[in-house]
Structure 1
Amino acid sequence: MKKTITIIGSGFAAMAASCYLAKSGHEVTVYEKNDSIGGRARQLKRDGFTFDMGPSWYWMPDVFDRFFADFGKTTADYYELVKLSPAYSVYFGVNEFIAIADNLAEIEATFEAIEKGSGAVLNNFISEAKSNYDIAIKDLVYRPGVSPLELVTPETAMKVGQFFSTISRDVRKKFKNERLIQILEFPVLFLGAKPSDTPSFYSFMNYADFGLGTWHPKTGMFDVVRAMESLALELGVTFKTNSNIEKILVENKTAKSIVVNGETIASDLILSGADYHHTETLLDQEHRAYSEKYWDSRVFAPSSLLFYVGFNKKIENISHHALFFDVDFYQHAKDIYDEPQWPKEPLFYANFPSLTDKTAAPEGMESGFFLIPLAPGIQDTSVLREEYFNKIIDRFETLTQQSVKNNILFKQSFCKNDFVSAYNSYKGNAYGMANTLLQTAFLRPKLKSKKVKNLYFTGQLTVPGPGVPPALISGKLVSDLINKQFSDQ
């Protein structure tokens, strides 16, 4: 039976859900508080420069393929992908960097040249990681986190030890060179937790990195947003921007309507792809499933200080993605997770999309995106932003052996306070709730409200977790639960 469904937010999870629910015949309307869709994956255009404001890594292409295949489509129907070569570079000092190739054979050769015998060890490590990937990404993450039994399969039973060891411990058993260790620990940072707190089973992220490679939609990650919007519109979804949700109204423990910009709009079912904690604050206290104490006790992924920078010249000695690990990797992690504070010497990431996409900057110029991971809930001031920009741009000049400060046409920052104001993000986190052992699968906040009928959630604070591919999967999982509810009525 056709139902009217209200979706709050237009991030990847919400848009994926909108497509699945519209395909099932429901009347779906998406309400977005900002003036453009995409959630954290919005686009910034300024003075002829174009920036992806949030996600910039396109990993796990098979998950995107699977999403579009569910609608009889392919990614190529909507956007073109470029495989990056090198995938990324990691800077450890002046003239000291490691470029990660776009294929495993060359990566193994790079490892072997740095640590004798490590090439063969890496091959075995990635084989195991691929096995985990096949179990996790092709099966386990497509389960809705309703029961712990979802994790019990013949395949996971053979890997139970990997849930009680950590990425950091396993990598250090196999490799001795500290730089190779940091490169292997890096991918799990996408899961929002320290490598020392992330179960070994999550080595599947290393296969996503070395085995599947790093891709880039031809004109940026916003290509994916446009693609999903096009698909949703084809399926009959309606989008309404500048639509701030002020309240979710509940009658007889059933979600009945939302208040949008002062107007009450009735609906058969409400699905929130907005921040989970914020969404519950739209409910009266008695209808909230999780207390403030619960949220405060969770391990959240970092916030970020971002800079979108327009340069009036081409930047040298750099790759599309670049990681700057020339300072203490583990001290920065402590400053995020253990003793939250602004790091004295921050790691940072830089992204130069105009190296791949000529439309990202005017001819002869460069668009640059810089990111410093920070503890969520941290103090955020304009003075601190400026101080930290100067810290990283000084190091960037030294490490890439060029002067760039005088070539900056503009820089625009985005930090914790902006994550709160733009996305209602809990403590200004950038990636959601970390995927630690005690925050995995059925231990995460539920897709279906435990207290209010016809109220569901999707996105990075629920199942399966942080990242763009998991967001697409989250949209599918919640739509399956919703359709099951309607079919059972």
Structure 2
Amino acid sequence: MKKKIKIIGSGFSSLSAACYLAQEGHSVTIYEKNATVGGRARQLNKEGFTFDMGPTWYWMPDVFERFFADFNTKPQDFYQLKKLSPAYRVYFDKDDYVNIADNQNDIIKTFEAIEAGSGKVLKEFLDEAKSNYDIAIKDLVYRPGESPLELVTPQTMMKLGQFFGNISRDIRKKFKNKKLVQILEFPVLFLGAKPSDTPSFYNFMNYADFGLGTWHPKGGMYSVVKGMEQLAKSLGVTIETNAAIEKIGVESGEAKWLIVNGKKVDADVIVSGADYHHSETLLDEKYRNYSESYWEKRTFAPSSLLFYIGFDKKIENVEHHSLFFDTDFDVHAKDIYDKPKWPDEPLFYASFPSKTDKETAPEGKESGIFLIPLAPGIEDTYELREQYFEKIITRLEQLTGQEVKDNIIFKESFCVNDFIEDYNSYKGNAYGLANTLLQTAFLRPKLKSPKVKGLYFTGQLTVPGPGVPPALISGKLVAGLVKKHITKEKRLTAK
């Protein structure tokens, strides 16, 4: 039974869902409000420089492989991958940094050199993290979050206590050196919450980091988007850009149409990969599942202040991925989660893709992406952006022992207001809902609308959570629920 399925947004979760639904033989159309596909994973091209505007880390390569394998393909059919060595560098002070190697054995040696005895402890910690990774990523996250019973397996029952502990406490019990603690807490930031609010079970992110490594797709993360777009089109998916959705139409309790750029478009099934809160505002209020007070009480992952910079020279003493942890993360975290405000001394991240990928900058020049995590919903002005750029570029110069301010050809910024304007993002969040204990699995906003038949949601505000690999999984999960719905409808029609 071929259905007309309309998908809102063209981010990773939407592209994933589109591929799976087209594979089932349905007529699938994606509507993207912006000029190019990719949602938050767009690309900026300027004066010969190329920047990923959104995600820049390629982690969990097995999830990408599993996605493409579902279509009898592999990532290498669409883009080239290179494992980064070192994976990244962490700066703590001038000439005081730690390089994270591209293999577990060397990372263990690095830890041991910093804190005697920590190498053995790290090995044991990573063994536990791998066990959790195998349970979570190979099984649990591929469940649609419809029931708490999805979490009940013999394996999870053996680890029940890990859902009530927290990563920060666990790490600090095992490691005393502050640098090692910060390095181990770093991967949790991808989950969008403070380490002290993240269940111990999520230490599987440390295995994703040290065990599986950090990779770079040639051309940037947008190469993955283009690969998925190519796959989707080969399966028959139609993609329309500059297509803003103004309304989701409901008739007799069923999702029946969209208003796209003022035009009514009929649908049998609607899947929204746009911001969940925004998607529900496209419905009449009686059909919304979550109130404004519900969203207000959620713990959101941070927003970000991003800069995309073209330098007229090569930048020294940095790696492709460089983290600047020379200030107190606990203080910065409070400014994000506890009492939201602009941080006085923010940690920041910098990516220099042209260190690995020559095509992302003209010869002899460097492309730089800078990111400061911020509380969503805070004030965003040009003056604040400039003030904070001055803070981080000055620290970059001091920590790496070079002058770069006079070598900036151009600088573009992206912050809270842009996340709202370009992505209809709730409070300008960058990563969706944080994965805290009370926002895990079945406790997250539902993939399937309980009030409107044929209406579904996918992406970082629903199951399984923030990040690119979870977005691919979210698309598969929602496609599975749609398939179940259509199969049930088919049986009823047959009767």
TM-score by length of 2: 0.99
Instruction: State the Cα deviation string for residues 37-72 of structure 1 (Å, max 9, x = none).
Output: 000000000011000000000000000000000000
**How does 1:61-460 map onto structure 2 within 5 Å?**
61-460=61-460
Paired position in structure 2 for 1:26 = 26
CA distance, structure 2, for counterparts of residue 411 and residue 213 of structure 1: 30
What is the SS of the residue equivalent to 1:102? coil
Identity of aligned residues (%): 72
Amino acid corresponding to residue 201 of structure 2 in structure 1: F
CA distance, structure 1, for counterparts of residue 315 and residue 152 of structure 2: 50
Amino acid corresponding to residue 39 of structure 1 in structure 2: G
CA distance, structure 2, for counterparts of residue 5 and residue 121 of structure 1: 51
Q: CA RMSD in A?
A: 0.3
Instruction: State the Cα deviation string for residues 75-111 of structure 1 (Å, max 9, x = none).
Output: 1111110000000000000010000000011000000
Instruction: State the Cα deviation string for residues 421-474 of structure 1 (Å, max 9, x = none).
Output: 000000000000000000000000000001111100000000000000000000
What is the SS of the residue equivalent to 2:435? coil
CA distance, structure 2, for counterparts of residue 53 and residue 229 of structure 1: 18
Paired position in structure 2 for 1:15 = 15
CA distance, structure 1, for counterparts of residue 227 and residue 6 of structure 2: 21
1:218 shift after superposition:
1.3
Amino acid corresponding to residue 426 of structure 1 in structure 2: Y
Amino acid corresponding to residue 243 of structure 1 in structure 2: A
CA distance, structure 1, for counterparts of residue 313 and residue 185 of structure 2: 34
CA distance, structure 1, for counterparts of residue 429 and residue 60 of structure 2: 23
Amino acid corresponding to residue 448 of structure 1 in structure 2: K
CA distance, structure 1, for counterparts of residue 77 and residue 251 of structure 2: 43
**How does 1:49-64 map onto structure 2 within 5 Å?**
49-64=49-64
Amino acid corresponding to residue 256 of structure 1 in structure 2: K
Instruction: State the Cα deviation string for residues 196-220 of structure 1 (Å, max 9, x = none).
Output: 0000000000000000000000111
Amino acid corresponding to residue 473 of structure 1 in structure 2: I
1:158 shift after superposition:
0.3
Amino acid corresponding to residue 297 of structure 1 in structure 2: K
TM-score by length of 1: 1.00
| 4+ aligned runs moved over 2 Å, structure 1 | none
1:112 shift after superposition:
0.2
Which ranges in structure 2 are unaligned for 5 or more consecutive residues?
490-495
1:361 shift after superposition:
0.3
CA distance, structure 2, for counterparts of residue 33 and residue 218 of structure 1: 26
Paired position in structure 2 for 1:4 = 4
What is the SS of the residue equivalent to 2:474? helix
Amino acid corresponding to residue 430 of structure 1 in structure 2: A
Which ranges in structure 1 are unaligned for 5 or more consecutive residues?
none
CA distance, structure 1, for counterparts of residue 468 and residue 160 of structure 2: 27
CA distance, structure 1, for counterparts of residue 77 and residue 290 of structure 2: 41
CA distance, structure 2, for counterparts of residue 2 and residue 96 of structure 1: 60
CA distance, structure 2, for counterparts of residue 171 and residue 328 of structure 1: 17
Amino acid corresponding to residue 383 of structure 1 in structure 2: E
CA distance, structure 2, for counterparts of residue 355 and residue 89 of structure 1: 13
1:253 shift after superposition:
1.1
CA distance, structure 1, for counterparts of residue 271 and residue 148 of structure 2: 24
Amino acid corresponding to residue 312 of structure 1 in structure 2: D
CA distance, structure 1, for counterparts of residue 343 and residue 76 of structure 2: 42
1:393 shift after superposition:
0.2
